[in-house]
Amino acid sequence: MREYDIVVVGGGPAGCMAAKYAAKAGASTLIIEEHSAIGEPVQCAGLISKRAIEESELKNIGSFVNCELKGAIVHSQSHELRIESPSPDKRAFAIRRDSFDKELAKAAMDEGADLILNSKVKHVKKRGGREGAKLTILAAATTTTNAGVNLEENEIKANVVIGADGWRSGIARMAGLTVTKNFLNGVQIEGQYEIHEPVADIFVGKTIAPGFFAWVIPIGETTARIGLCIDKRFSPHPNPVPFLKRILSEHPVIAKKYKGTQSKFTAGVIPIPAERQKTVKTEDGTGILLVGDAAAQVKPITGGGVYYGMKCGKIAGEAAARACMERNMELLDGYEKRWQEEIGAEIAFGLKIHRLRCVLGDKDFDRMCRALSKYDVIQRITNQGDMDYPSFVFRELLKNPGIIMLMAKNIIKYLYAKRKIR
């Protein structure tokens, strides 16, 4: 039986960063990843900020960056809103998520963390008394040989388990912690596309992507990722695939530039954070933490979770290591306080914007784009906009008379959406 101070379940950005910082602090650390390779399957649009790259602490960015984007164009039904990046510090990068995740895992192992692939955690149970309690993790490893498929079960002991196992978090369920029940469902393809400049195209509208938006992200001179998400609670159809097929064949911008080829298809889920979600459980000298998508640490406005996941992963790893080193699991409670101080207000405000987006119609999005395209407003968006912390610019925009009138017009629908989105 193996024994560690900390076991991290899930080898994505949040889990790898948690493992790196736990090992860096001197705790014996293991990452358990259920898939046969880190970073696979890819379930992400692969667009992150320069700040997120800096947060990753990776130096060889050429190993995972496709291209640098210099701004975005927001398309409503009959209007376009161009947002330029005023400086290189605010630019975004299209990345290869599988390569990015592999580099993060390597960085964690360089600090001393161990890694087990192809293993799924079956249960986590506390055993032992108050003085010598441990969490026993049963992980089932799948191996394929000439004789067939073998299932080997391993027991691993730890003081702390960090659940970084995604939106369906088995660790959260085993610990009795809340798992987010509401999600955005997304699909994406990679294909040949007519690209004129390195900018992301964002398409809003209830008929295009109910409750969210569609995107085109260049990843080369002639190739782009084309995808969308929907909030099925506000969609006439629960499956996002028909919406993607429709924009590829009928949208006046996308259909014209899309060349009909498809090299990759990706489907994924983005958790919508709950207003109250506990991410720590301690009991008799043991502890369980949730991080990343398992804790719904994502931006409700854009759906991005890489930056938040890495930032919270660092906090989780440090808190878990300190609790183990000092043999005081009460120190884990500081994790939830710290990450809430860092991004809790952003998530709460983002939920309000998401509710508003869910009730707006196509004409409402047109009015919004027209109101925002005025020179003084667009200058504020350009100068103050931040894809990792969007609340500041949105708070400023909500002071605009045109936006205030739009919200007043939709207040009843918004209040209904607030009851519907918990």
Report yes or no: 300 and 350 within 8 Å, Cβ to Cβ.
Answer: yes
Domain topology for 2-44+99-181+273-345: FAD/NAD(P)-binding domain (3.50.50)
CA 400 to chain centre: 30
Q: What is the pLDDT of residue 107?
A: 98
For residue 15, report the phi and psi dihedrals to the nearest 5 degrees: -65, -45
Annotated domain spans of the chain:
2-44+99-181+273-345, 69-92+185-271, 349-420
The per-residue pLDDT string of the chain (422 residues; one tens digit each, 9 = 90 and over) reads 789 999 999 999 999 999 999 999 999 999 999 999 999 988 889 999 999 999 999 999 999 999 999 989 999 999 998 888 777 777 899 999 999 999 999 999 999 999 999 999 999 998 875 556 688 988 888 665 555 556 678 899 999 999 999 999 999 999 999 888 889 999 999 999 999 999 999 999 999 999 999 999 999 999 999 999 999 989 988 999 999 999 999 999 999 999 998 989 999 999 998 767 899 999 988 999 999 999 999 999 999 999 999 999 999 999 999 999 999 999 999 999 999 999 999 999 898 888 888 888 898 888 888 877 775 666 666 676 678 887 766 666 666 666 666 666 666 555 555 555 55
Q: How many residues does the chain have?
A: 422
CA dist., res. 119 & res. 188, Å (int): 27
Q: Which of 286, 378, 370 is nearest to 80 (CA)?
A: 370
Burial of residue 361, with CB atoms counted within 10 A of its CB: 0-12 exposed, 13-18 middle, 19 or more buried: middle
303-321 in b/e burial notation, b at 16+ Cβ within 10 A?
bbbbbbbbbbbbbbbbbbb
DSSP string, 352-405: HHHHHHHH--HHHHHHHHHHHTSHHHHHHHHHH--SSSTHHHHHHHTTSHHHHH
CA dist., res. 25 & res. 418, Å (int): 42
Q: What is the pTM of this model?
A: 0.91
For residue 223, report the phi and psi dihedrals to the nearest 5 degrees: -130, 145
Q: What is the pLDDT of residue 152?
A: 78
Local structure of 74: helix, strand or coil: strand
Local structure of 169: helix, strand or coil: coil
Give me the helices (H) in 258-305, please: none
Domain topology for 69-92+185-271: D-Amino Acid Oxidase; Chain A, domain 2 (3.30.9)
Q: What is the pLDDT of residue 134?
A: 85
Q: What is the pLDDT of residue 419?
A: 58
Q: What is the pLDDT of residue 406?
A: 63
Q: Which of 40, 33, 49 is nearest to 95 (CA)?
A: 49
Amino acid at 170: G
Q: Name the token pair of 10.
A: 């899930």
Residue 51 contacts by C-beta under 8 Å, 6 or more apart in sequence? 89, 307, 388
Q: What is the pLDDT of residue 280?
A: 97
